[in-house]
Amino acid sequence: MRKNIILLFLFGSFNLLSQTSDTISLWQCIFAGIDNYGLQQSLDYSNQTVDLQQNNLKTNYYPVIKLNGQATFQSSTIEINLPIPGVEMPTVPLDQYKAYLEINQLIYDGGLTKSYANILNLSATENLTKSTIQQKQIENNIAKIFFLALLLDKQIDVINNQLKTLNEQLNVVEASINGAVLTPVNRDILLSEILKIEQRLEETIILKTSTLNVLKQYTGQDLGSESELLFPYLSINSFDTSISPRMQLVDIQSQKLNLIDNQISASRKPNVYAFAQGGYGRPGLNMLSDEFSPYFIAGVTCSWRVFDWNNANRNRQINAIKNDQLSIDRHNIQVAINIQKENILAQLNSLQQTIHKDEQIIELQEKILNTYKSQLKNGIITSAEYVVEVNKLSQTQLTLELHKIQYEQLKFEYNNVY
């Protein structure tokens, strides 16, 4: 259970974006981002902590060995006053000394140590699930930045095509002006529009560079402004809400409460220990001797807290309330996931139809623009009228690219709902 999903992503310990490449994919950014955030390292630290705690628990079954020493002085001791002629009764010394080795061995603790171990094992699974939730959050954040950068990339392509169209038509207008078909003002109109578009291109490039810098912060990699972002073609995966990491976390927390109930029950059972004590002191086991002597004691001890003022029952009631709250949380998460997925599917269906309409509009606008090219060449229309149609086509092309990117982004969000 401690094998994180992150390992699947980072299998092979690669660093994709550090390789020299002119293209960047969505998953390259996500892999690098997960690596940059150190989720696997953080999970390893958590698991190491659990392992150390487990090892500490195992020592509960090992003997406890103590070396003790004691020196005391008493104001009075036991006195034996028997009037027996010729017999001197022994006296217990006021100063007493002893040093002894004490060994205690757990025999039975009611399953308390085992219950602690079960909770720790579940903690490892809980850490993994929390790490998966963090990973999903990072993936979604990186995807949003990537799709924004991709949109800006496509916008740059559309603007460049727009500039190319206008520059080509500028040469046509120049020829028509030389042939006295058009007036010079038509050339000025095109040049003015070209300058505006070049200005918009520069602004878009700056915005793309800024967006890539944000992506750089997420991935920890240098991303050049000239890098080409690969368009991700995603498919919609089937989804079972029960495997949602947030749902799994709620289930784990519920299991943890059940294990804590078991721990409470175990704590109410008696504890049995075997013990042995060997030492040297004055007096030894003979309390009436004033000589130093060795001694040894061995046996079994039992302790049982018979009455706990109903603390255990109240703690069970607290856990039952928490479990009820977790049931509500689980239901709410499931409803939220279902609503989110239904909304995404509805948007996908709508976008699919919108993209089809966009393509039809572009096809018609391209026909209109070709007609306008011929009319401008022959002086039937002005450059201003032609520019209007060029801008219409560019705007529709940009809208199409936006809808395509939104379509893929929604598919990513659908697959990454957690």
Angle (nearest 5°) at CA 366 between 362 and 367 = 120
Contact residues for 255 (Cβ-Cβ < 8 A; gap 6+): 122
Domain count, the chain: 2
253 and 387 both lie in a single domain? yes
126 and 190 both lie in a single domain? yes
Walk along the chain (418 residues) and give the pLDDT tens digit of each residue. 434 433 334 433 344 444 445 788 999 999 999 999 999 999 999 999 999 999 999 999 999 999 999 999 988 877 777 777 766 667 788 899 999 999 999 999 999 999 999 999 999 999 999 999 999 999 999 999 999 999 999 999 999 999 999 999 999 899 988 888 888 999 999 999 999 999 999 999 999 999 999 999 999 988 776 778 999 999 988 767 668 999 999 999 999 999 999 999 999 999 999 999 999 999 888 887 888 999 999 999 999 999 999 999 999 999 999 999 999 999 999 999 999 999 999 999 999 999 999 999 999 999 999 999 999 988 899 999 999 999 999 999 999 999 999 999 999 999 999 8
Helices (H), 268-310: none
258 and 277 both lie in a single domain? no
73 and 42 both lie in a single domain? no
225 and 173 both lie in a single domain? yes
280 and 384 both lie in a single domain? no
Name the nearest CA neighbour of 93 among 68, 72, 64.
72
Helices (H), 220-280: 245-267
- Structural domain ending residue among the three candidates 285, 303, 321: 303
Contact between 152 and 414 (Cβ < 8 Å) = no
22: domain CATH number? Answer: 1.20.1600.10
**Separation in Å, CA 404 to CA 33, 347, 354, 356:** 24, 12, 10, 10
404 and 356 both lie in a single domain? yes
Domain encompassing residue 322: 5-62+111-269+312-415
Tokens of 356: 């089809």
- Structural domain ending residue among the three candidates 303, 322, 357: 303
pTM of the model: 0.83
